[in-house]
């Protein structure tokens, strides 16, 4: 019974870790998109 409990705890920890990783990747992606569009619109304004 203890082994099943330990396995479940490990799976929960991995899921939490993956959720945090996914959130970080989304934040970085949004930052990159905002930066890219900012530079693109700046380019369009100067021409």
Six-digit token string for 38: 């900012």
Neighbouring CB atoms inside 10 A of 17's CB total: 10
Which residue in the block uniquely carries the two structure tokens 């998109």?
A: 33
pLDDT of residue 13: 73
Q: How far apart are alpha carbons 34 and 27 in whole angstroms?
A: 11
Q: How far apart are alpha carbons 46 and 40 in whole angstroms?
A: 10
pLDDT of residue 25: 97
pLDDT of residue 14: 73
pLDDT digits (tens, 9 = 90+) for 1-47: 566 777 777 777 777 788 899 999 999 999 999 999 999 999 999 97
């Amino acid at each position: 019974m203890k082994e099943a409990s330990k396995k479940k705890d490990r799976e929960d920890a991995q899921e939490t870790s993956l959720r945090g990783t996914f959130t970080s990747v989304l934040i970085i992606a949004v930052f990159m998109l905002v930066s890219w569009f900012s530079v693109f619109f700046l380019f369009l304004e100067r021409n």
